[in-house]
Structure 1
């Protein structure tokens, strides 16, 4: 075969490999979470009583996952399903509109809100010079993970291609970006915290500080990563139990065991 023919063949094989990989990534989440399952998980997300009705579409979720090809694609089929169930459980708690006697139960009301109700501050840490706040901008909870604080909006925006400090509002107006911020937080290690992704796929290895703080791998550690300062180290905290309730329901729908260490009541939060 002529040299230029060999090069041409290699080029086409490389393109084919890339396209095949992209198709695999695009179809992985579709196979793990088909639209019918997504709709059965979020039964009431488009209820007219929910401020976010019509915002958190299945298509936006799938599109957002393409930015993070390792999400729900690492480990055994069980590990992948467990990670998706854990992620959806955490964002459901953050955005829920359910209550104890709600129709279909309190764990059928995830993705009801897209912005924090009655924020207690503008969530600006003025001491953070790396990600300075802009005047007249607020950094309260927005999107599925309720992204908060300037030191999260700034890095998330840089990673995802929007100005999180100047335009934090986009997280509550663009549903793909909203899901991407939740996945960014889930997938990104923020030392000394591991990523939620690494915890759920079994990649997390506790440091000496983690061992001293009784931080054990499991769903409870993802709660510690997300909001441990307010919820962990407290026996029987209702918010933690709510997160667990979502996870147990979703694990059932995904036909996978939850695994151990669901709560964080004996864990010290990260500083």
Structure 2
């Protein structure tokens, strides 16, 4: 289970940071860990929130190995790892330790109604009838959707 979880984490972070293209040598997914931040973000990824307010002029697009995005993820991730990521979101792209801490936080933390990736991969998550009907079954696939 431990090796499977490490493999799943590395697969997910490689997928999130891929620089591949459809005709890339060895395929589009052979080019993981290319981008530390989202390329051409479509917005500032700021959602109005009294709990996790966006800082003036800051953008919360995908950064780091898990490509954490949105203020409602930067805020609690920062609180959990002891860094003010709402005011300093670029730290996820510029500080390797913070970058991987946020990825591990995201991997380990459930975000209702979603279970944590950790719980899915280690078999601690049991899908509800609604999950099963929607095709959300135990295993790696549910962590990528």
What TM-score does the superposition give when structure 2 sets the normalisation length? 0.93
Quote the RMSD (CA, aligned, Å). 1.4
Runs of 4+ in 1 over 4 A off after TM superposition: none
CA offsets 1:154-203 (integer angstroms, 9 cap, x no match):
00000001001111110010011111111111111112111001100111
In structure 2, what is the Cα distance between the partners aligned to 1:165 and 1:206?
Answer: 33
Instruction: Report the structure number with the largest CA radius of gyration.
Output: 1
Match of 2:20 in 1: 98
Kindly tell me: are residues 210 and 109 of structure 1, through their superposed partners in 2, closer, same or farther at Cα, counting changes over 3 Å? Answer: same
In structure 1, what is the Cα distance between the partners aligned to 2:58 and 2:29?
Answer: 33
1:34-183 alignment to 2 at 5 Å? 79-126=1-48, 128-183=49-104
In structure 1, what is the Cα distance between the partners aligned to 2:24 and 2:96?
Answer: 26
| TM-aligned CA deviation for residue 211 of structure 1 | 3.4
Unaligned runs of 5+ in 1: 1-78, 225-271
Instruction: Please state if 1:207 is matched with 2:141.
Output: no
Unaligned runs of 5+ in 2: none
What TM-score does the superposition give when structure 1 sets the normalisation length? 0.51
| TM-aligned CA deviation for residue 136 of structure 1 | 0.4
Task: Give 1 or 2: higher helix fraction.
Answer: 1
Match of 1:197 among 103, 111, 118: 118
In structure 1, what is the Cα distance between the partners aligned to 2:3 and 2:114?
Answer: 23
